[in-house]
Amino acid sequence: YYAVELVNDSLYDWNVKLLKVDEDSALHNDLQILKEKEGTDFILLNFSFKDNFPFDPPFVRVVSPVLSGGYVLGGGAICMELLTKQGWSSAYSIESVIMQISATLVKGKARVQFGANKNQYSLTRAQQSYKSLVQIHEKNGWYTPPKEDG
């Protein structure tokens, strides 16, 4: 379902290849097309861990491909309460976080943006988006969709 590689042998910086998403999803079909076009059939996520992990969540962003929907924001930041201090629990395993991200992308109807400028995803832009999403949700709370939505 996924593969993990350390970036420059650092335990604080991981690249996670999301190799499988729900096969009934449009995102799954997009990844098949991406494989034909670019030879890549996975979503590359980057996890950065702080010294105080597991007490603080990792910072997670999409590196590639560029996605629309799926709660993916500018720069590749992911809008999930689970990935904020408020929603995080030190009991979460990284595997469960990866599975949750995969489910969130599908539930949010993420689609690959073919032909999009790949440079629009960067760590700096993702961190800015993340900061503003946290401020918005701290002020307004998080919306929990009804059970029948998934």
H, E, C per residue of 46-92? EEECCCCCCCCCCEEEEEECCEECCCECHHHEECCHHHCCCCCCCCC
What is the second-level CATH architecture of the domain 2-149? Roll (3.10)
For the chain, the domains span 2-149
What's the pLDDT score for residue 125?
A: 92
pLDDT score recorded for residue 28: 97
Q: What average pLDDT does the structure give for the chain?
A: 91
Q: Are the beta carbons of 12 and 96 closer than 8 angstroms?
A: no
Distance CA 96, CA 17 (A): 15
Q: Are 13 and 53 in contact (CB under 8 A)?
A: no
Out of 78, 79, 97, 110, the active site residue is 79
In the predicted model, residues of the chain with pLDDT beneath 70 are 143-150
Query: What pLDDT score does 31 carry?
Result: 97
3-state SS, one letter per residue, for 82-145 = HHCCCCCCCCCCHHHHHHHHHHHHHHCCCEECCCCCHHHCCHHHHHHHHHHHHHHHHHHCCCCC
What does pTM read for this prediction? 0.89
Which pLDDT value is given to residue 141?
A: 76
CA 133 to chain centre: 14
Query: SS3 for 149?
Result: helix
Answer yes or no: 79 catalytic: yes
